[in-house]
A and B are shown apart, each in its own frame.
Chain A
Amino acid sequence: MSNRGVRNLFVFGSLFFFVIFVALTFDTMKRLDKRAPEITAEVDEGKKLWHKYDCIGCHTILGNGSYFAPDLTKVTVNKPEGYLEKFLVNPKKVKSTAAMPALGITPDEAKKLVAFLDWVSKVDTNGWPPKPVLATFRMPQTPGVTVYQKYGCSSCHMISGVGGTSGPDLTKVASRRPDPEWHKRHLREPSALVPDSAMPAYPQISDEELNQLVDYLLTLK
């Protein structure tokens, strides 16, 4: 083939693929609204704040962004809103070791940001992030452990290296807090004992479950 022929192949071939790409883009745009909930005014304001504070400069969302801080795609599924709002306003107050700075976010802005994050968590992402397939931690299956798992305490607390880091590590909590009554009151209403606590209250735990849970916590020395 002459050079002119190869050149034409390059130019028209590229145009051909670009046209297909544009066609797929149109098709995608048509389908997107069905794959995500409606965008309310609050969600939109939250998204604007997301840009204003350059959250993407530390975090990923839908897996894209920076790799300095956790991905936020599903954060509202794992953490209650009240906690997230408190954290956003002043991270170090909630968790003294937090690497996230206080950015001057107001409680009202925090609400909007959480609404935005909640919208993202409901997008149909073809199953991403995947569930861990190798998770095989064996905790002793006592009644207390079952309650601990049922109420998702491990999304915020770590025991022996497993679990989240939003709240204090509970591996040795009983040495710090040996009093069962303290735990019972704290679980029912954390802020009554710890001013401004960011831990959610658990009025929904039954009395029996509460006893089992606290028995379990007291074994953690």
Chain B
Amino acid sequence: MKYESQKIAQNFYTFAVLLFLVQVLVGIIAALQFIWPDFFPLKFNIIRDLHINALVVWLLMGLMGATYYVVPEESQSELWSIPLAKFQFWATVVAVTAVVLGYIWMGFDPQANKFVAGTLLLNEGREYIEAPRWADWLIALSVILFLINNFMTMYKSKRWTGIQGTLLGGLTFLALMYLPGMFYTKSMVKDQFWWWWVIHLWVEGAWEVIAGALLAFMLMKVTNAERHVLERWMYIEVGLVLFTGILGTGHHYYWIGTPKYWLWVGGIFSSLEPIPLLLMVWDAFRTTRKHRVVTNRLGLFYATSHAIFNFVGAGLWGVIHTLPQVNKWTHGTQITTAHGHLAFYGAYVLLVMSMIYITLPLIRGVNEFNTSRGYRSFWWMTISMIFIVLTLTGAGMVQTYMERLIGLDYVTVKATYNFWFWALRAIFGVGFLYGAWLFVIDFFKLGKEPVEVTSTATETVA
């Protein structure tokens, strides 16, 4: 670490990893509610809201922390304003806590979610963007302050690099794409139409652009690869992400009441979305092969795994149900859940974790650290996640066949045919929790315990 202000990243990382634990814990409760719907005082919808909101918020916090690390380094200057970054951090923590308490309150008393001045007080009742309107504004404000801080840093130093330009471009796109979720429409069709602008253009647009930029940064950091080669491939990757991903939004406009031409637009463009993700995998391997000098092997291991599971979870598990001919039968089944889990895990959970493993040792000023817990955590999480996804894919295939093809009742299929899949998911969920726990321990201990294993800072890959 060269700049004192890069330390602010740690605040964001800390809040992120704690929320990660909360997310996984409530995920297990949600999984058990598939078997015993009434066993927990908060009903399934509230638990699920907590699960997916904690997920989105901790990933955003992680990405913000990572950006605060990257931008000073790339601009070769201190951050424009540390107090602003601290203020923005604490404001976000307070807003997020208030929203969480609101969900819990609503869980105990659904009537507490009243309309105040035309908007709902505690929960907007729209998936992923459940946060009420007042919180939307606070979140938007926080993101704007965050963007200003970073742009000013770049502006003052007059040093624009491709990596940070792309990173901030992706973050700006992310902020803008929050807006289509912030107005009410009377028509449920329009509601879902704009809702997908937020959800799809986030995960398959803005966030993938950010991932492309961070991947280039990480590869540059842990190998001595040349910047201009990395940046060139980065432009190609993120370019293809947007060329395919923007019109790929059409894969959500097949059946919600929108015109038929979306079947063509969505089917064709979304089928091409895996290509840039495959390029990223190739990029990671090519760079490692070519530059045999690796600092921080664990970091590189996580970064490469991120690239691979981004391709598998988003690319492969996405493309299997993206053609209208298939999606007609699988739309809204457990196949979607299987894809949602592996995609978010591979693309963004592993991304934030690899950024943490690459930047945290530098922030803490350690050249060597114990890597064994980091590897164990990876295998516990990844193997558990693979099995969760296989279980859900199984449940989705049974559901598609029994309910959609044969015409059996939804509740029957869920309660009888898929029962064992729910049980298995919950069990593998505990395995995942153990892995996540190891990671959080490792986060707090990294660089603070004596090094046992030989993991020299710089070593040559055989």
Main SS class of interface, B: helix
Interface range for A: 35 or more
Judge whether B235 and A32 touch: CB under 8 Å.
Answer: no
A32, B404: Cβ atoms closer than 8 Å: no
Interface residues in A126-166 by Cβ distance below 8 A to B read: 126-135, 158, 161-165
Decide yes or no: A32 and B187 within 8 Å by CB, A51-B125, A52-B125, A130-B328 being known contacts. Answer: yes
B45 at the interface (CB under 8 A from A): yes
Q: Given that A17-B246, A58-B45 are contacting pairs, would A158 and B412 also be in contact in the complex, using a CB cutoff of 8 Å?
A: yes
Residue of A nearest to B46 (CB): A57
CB distance from A20 to the nearest CB of B (A): 7
Measured between alpha carbons, how far is A17 from B258 in the docked complex, in Å? 20
**Most chain A CB inside 10 Å of its own CB: which residue of B124, B191, B332, B405:** B332
B187/A36 in contact, CB under 8 A: yes
* CB nearest to A133 among chain B residues: B405
Cβ-defined contact, A65 with B127, below 8 A:
yes
Minimum C-beta distance from A176 to chain B (A): 20
Smallest beta-carbon distance A211→chain B, Å:
28
Task: Give the chain B neighbours of A99 by CB distance below 8 A.
Answer: 37-38
The answer, yes or no, to whether B311 is at the interface (CB within 8 Å) is no
> B186 touching A14 by the CB < 8 A rule?
no
B231 at the interface (CB under 8 A from A): yes
Q: Is the CB of B125 within 8 A of A35?
A: no
Q: Assuming the A-B contacts A65-B127, A126-B263, are A17 and B254 also in contact, with contact meaning beta carbons closer than 8 angstroms in the complex? A: no
Per-residue 0/1 for B380-414: is the Cβ within 8 Å of any A Cβ (1 yes, 0 no)? 00000000000000000000000011111111100
Contact assessment for A57 and B44 in the assembled complex, using a CB-CB cutoff below 8 Å:
yes
- The listed residue (A10, A53, A70, A129) touching B125 by CB distance below 8 A is A53
Contact assessment for A132 and B405 in the assembled complex, using a CB-CB cutoff below 8 Å: yes
The answer on a CB contact under 8 Å between B332 and A64 is: yes
A104 within 8 A of B: yes
When chains A and B are docked, how far (Å) is the Cα of A108 from the Cα of B275?
52
Q: A29-B190, A53-B110, A56-B127 are in contact. Are A62 and B256 (CB under 8 A)?
A: yes
What is the chain B residue whose CB lies nearest that of A30? B259
Judge whether A63 and B125 touch: CB under 8 Å.
no
Q: Residue-by-residue, is A1-41 near B (CB-CB < 8 Å gives 1, otherwise 0)?
A: 00100110110011001101100110111011001100100
Query: In whole Å, how far is A105's beta carbon from the nearest beta carbon of chain B?
Result: 9
Given A53-B110, A57-B46, A57-B48, do A135 and B243 touch, yes or no (CB 8 Å)?
no
| B168 vs chain A, min Cβ distance (A) | 13
A10 CA to B244 CA in the complex, in Å? 12
Residue of B nearest to A24 (CB): B265
B170-201 contact mask (Cβ, 8 Å, vs A): 1 or 0: 00000000000000001111111101000000
Question: Taking CB as reference atom, which chain A residue is nearest B252?
Answer: A64
A125–B331 Cα distance when bound, in Å, is 12
Contact B126 A56 (CB under 8 A): yes
Q: Is the CB of B232 within 8 A of A3?
A: yes
Q: Is B270 an interface residue (CB 8 A)?
A: no
Q: Is A66 an interface residue (CB 8 A)?
A: yes
- A10 to B, closest residue via Cβ: B239
Asked if B336 lies at the interface with its beta carbon under 8 angstroms from chain A, I say yes
Distance (whole angstroms) from the CB of B129 to the closest CB of chain A: 11
- On whether A128 and B328 interact (CB within 8 A), knowing A3-B162, A62-B189, A164-B409, the answer reads yes
Can you list 24 A-B pairs with a CB-CB distance of less than 8 A?
Answer: A3-B162, A10-B236, A17-B247, A21-B249, A28-B253, A28-B259, A32-B190, A47-B188, A53-B110, A53-B113, A54-B106, A54-B110, A57-B49, A57-B130, A60-B332, A62-B188, A62-B256, A63-B331, A66-B44, A101-B38, A125-B257, A128-B255, A129-B404, A135-B407
Known A21-B246, A58-B44, A165-B409; 18 more pairs at CB < 8 Å: A13-B242, A14-B239, A14-B242, A28-B253, A32-B257, A48-B115, A57-B127, A62-B188, A63-B255, A64-B256, A65-B127, A66-B45, A68-B34, A119-B188, A126-B254, A134-B407, A158-B409, A164-B411
The chain B residues found within 8 Å of chain A, CB to CB, are 33-34, 37-38, 43-46, 48-49, 106, 110-111, 113-115, 120, 123-127, 130, 162, 186-193, 195, 228, 231-232, 235-236, 238-239, 242-243, 246-247, 249, 252-263, 265, 328-329, 331-334, 336-337, 404-412
